[in-house]
């Protein structure tokens, strides 16, 4: 007779903490991921994995070189009035995959405060389905219903999301990151 497998225990490495938002006061678009992956956490940079398509897509849409220094890329986003953040402030997650986020450990960021401090935000873009699902379940119910925001679900730029080709991702992101003047 075999004994049941012991439940997996979280290690200190499984506890991950997200980054502060990158946002100018006049931001109009907020791009949300779920939680930075291991490569991003190690480098303390959004979308640091070399095969993540976020920076090549943002560069193509906004007209900057995606290989330039990280502070210059962030400045290009801010000039375009695009902010970056994640839905989660903290969670336990072994590895980098969104599917590994332990639901009983997640802590959402404070979007009520963020949106109050960034009143020009009119569109929230989700970098992948997990970010959208987490936001809709853990954030949206607690927000002021009086503010009208557009929500756009986008294909993940993660290298783990290989279902969509780069040009398909680029077309969707180009539309989402472009607002009428």
Q: Which residues pair with 57 in a beta bridge?
A: none
Q: Which CATH number fits domain 15-177: 3.40.470.10, 3.40.190.10, 3.50.50.60, 3.40.640.10?
A: 3.40.470.10
The pLDDT of residue 8 is above 70: no
Please say if 109 is a catalytic residue.
no
What average pLDDT does this structure show over 16-32? 96
Threshold 0.85, pTM exceeds = yes
Q: How many residues in the chain?
A: 181
Q: Decide if 55 contacts 71 (C-beta within 8 A).
A: no
7: confidence class by pLDDT, cuts 50, 70, 90:
very low
Separation of alpha carbons 143 and 141, rounded Å: 6
Read off the DSSP letter of residue 22: B
Tokens of 10: 């979280």
What average pLDDT does this structure show over 12-31? 91
Q: Which residues contact 34 (CB under 8 A, 6 or more apart)?
A: 86, 87, 88, 98, 101, 127, 128, 130, 131, 134
Q: Decide if 159 contacts 166 (C-beta within 8 A).
A: no
The pLDDT of residue 93 is above 50: yes
- Which one from 40, 52, 156, 158 is the annotated catalytic residue? 52
**Looking at residue 33, what is its pLDDT?**
95
Separation of alpha carbons 139 and 135, rounded Å: 5
């Amino acid at each position: 007779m075999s004994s049941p497998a012991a439940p997996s225990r979280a290690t200190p490495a499984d506890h991950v903490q997200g980054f502060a938002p990158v946002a100018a006061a006049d931001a109009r678009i907020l791009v949300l991921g779920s939680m930075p992956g291991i490569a991003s956490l190690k480098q303390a940079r959004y979308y640091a994995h070399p095969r993540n398509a976020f920076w090549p897509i943002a560069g193509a849409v906004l007209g900057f070189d995606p290989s330039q220094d990280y502070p210059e890329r962030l400045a290009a986003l801010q000039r375009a009035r695009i902010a970056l953040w994640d839905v989660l402030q903290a969670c336990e997650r072994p590895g980098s995959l969104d599917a590994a986020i332990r639901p009983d450990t997640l802590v959402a960021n404070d979007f009520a405060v963020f949106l109050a401090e960034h009143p020009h935000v009119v569109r929230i873009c989700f970098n992948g389905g997990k970010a959208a699902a987490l936001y809709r379940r853990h954030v949206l119910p607690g927000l002021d219903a009086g503010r009208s925001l557009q929500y756009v679900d986008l294909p993940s730029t993660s290298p783990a999301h290989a279902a969509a080709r780069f040009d398909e991702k680029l077309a969707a992101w180009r539309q989402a990151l472009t607002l009428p003047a």
